[in-house]
Amino acid sequence: MPGIGVIVNVVAVLAGTVVGLVFGKLISERFRGIAFAAIGLAVMVIGIAMALGGLSALGETHLGDYAALVLVGALVVGSLAGEALRIEYWLERFGQWLQDKAYKMPMLAPGRADQPGEKGHTLVEGFVTASLLYCTGAMTVLGSLQDGLGDPSLLYLKALLDGIASIALATTLGVGVGLSVIPILLLQGGIALGASAVESLITPAVVSSIEAVGGALILAIGLDLTQIKRLPVGNMLPAVFIAAALALFLG
Contacts of 38 (CB under 8 A, 6+ apart): none
Residue 125 confidence (pLDDT): 87
Q: What is the DSSP letter of 121?
A: -
Residue 251 confidence (pLDDT): 67
Residue 180 confidence (pLDDT): 94
Residue 115 confidence (pLDDT): 44
Q: What is the DSSP letter of 124?
A: H
Q: Which residues of the chain have pLDDT under 70?
A: 102-121, 251
Residue 117 confidence (pLDDT): 41
* Distance (Å) of CA 227 to CA 29, 41, 52, 77, 172: 16, 10, 23, 26, 14
Candidates 20, 8, 10, 7; CA nearest to 165 is 20
Residue 52 confidence (pLDDT): 94
* Contact criterion met (CB below 8 Å) for 178 and 14: yes
Residue 141 confidence (pLDDT): 85
Measured CA to CA, the distance from residue 167 to residue 17 in angstroms comes to 5
Residue 235 confidence (pLDDT): 93
